[in-house]
């Protein structure tokens, strides 16, 4: 059965959905970066870098909206939303090894759901101006998911399996060539 609601999305609706979703992602990654700051600086830097990619996608959506003369779809945050510049809208929590593992599993799952969301936007898109940015976002979100998964697996080799505490502590201190080259900065 064909989902007529999905096929009937207007460009302004797709822009508004993509923009509001990315604003929420930006807030979440900023909060995660602050939360990991005191316990896992590598994870904090990773979350901050992903947050910067969210900012780039927001700018791209604003640029496309201006070109399509649909600025109003992306310039306003949802009613009652806090400012994008306010990462402290949620309290920063103290993280231990167990909480860190659970949060990384949740971040990985959320990254997959975000990838699926943008894939759905791309699949249901009928506007040529939105095809290129949505295709780029799908690729970026897939890469984001892969990086988060690789990072989590480098800390905890299998889902639910906890790496020895000393291994995690050594990695956080930069011993053993951490972070892995696949997610480290290019030199």
Span 159-171, average pLDDT: 46
| Residue of 48, 50, 55, 46 whose CA lies nearest to 23 | 55
**pLDDT above 70: percentage of residues in the chain:** 67
Q: Please, is 180 exposed, middle or buried when counting C-beta atoms within 10 Å of its C-beta (0-12, 13-18, 19+)? A: middle
pLDDT for the residue 179: 41
Span 118-142, pLDDT tens digits: 999 999 998 999 999 999 999 999 9
Contacts of 83 (CB under 8 A, 6+ apart): 77
d(CA 142, CA 146): 6
Span 9-33, pLDDT tens digits: 788 899 999 999 999 999 999 999 9
Is it the case that residue 148 has pLDDT exceeding 60?
A: yes
Domains of the chain: 8-77+88-172 (1.20.1260.10)
pLDDT for the residue 99: 79
Q: What is the pTM of this model?
A: 0.73
| Residue of 130, 134, 136 whose CA lies nearest to 120 | 134
Span 44-102, pLDDT tens digits: 999 999 999 999 999 999 999 999 988 887 875 543 344 545 555 555 566 667 778 88
Cβ pair 82, 76 in contact under 8 A: no
Is it the case that residue 156 has pLDDT exceeding 90?
A: no
d(CA 117, CA 133): 14
């Amino acid at each position: 059965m064909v989902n007529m609601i999905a096929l009937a999305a207007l460009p302004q609706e797709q822009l508004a959905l993509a923009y509001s979703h990315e604003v929420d992602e930006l807030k979440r990654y900023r909060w995660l970066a602050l939360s990991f700051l005191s316990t896992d600086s590598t994870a904090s830097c990773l979350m901050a870098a992903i947050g910067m990619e969210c900012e780039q996608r927001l700018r791209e959506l604003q640029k496309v909206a201006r070109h399509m003369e649909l600025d109003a779809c992306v310039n306003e945050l949802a009613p009652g939303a806090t400012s994008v510049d306010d990462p402290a809208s949620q309290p920063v929590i103290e993280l231990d090894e167990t909480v860190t593992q659970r949060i990384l599993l949740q971040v990985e799952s959320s990254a997959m759901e975000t990838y699926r969301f943008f894939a759905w936007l791309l699949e249901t898109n009928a506007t040529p101006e939105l095809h290129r940015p949505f295709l780029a976002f799908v690729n970026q979100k897939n890469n984001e998911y892969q990086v988060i998964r690789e990072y989590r697996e480098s800390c905890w080799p299998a889902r639910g399996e906890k790496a020895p505490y000393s291994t995690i502590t050594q990695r956080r201190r930069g011993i053993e060539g951490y972070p892995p080259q696949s997610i480290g900065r290019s030199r």
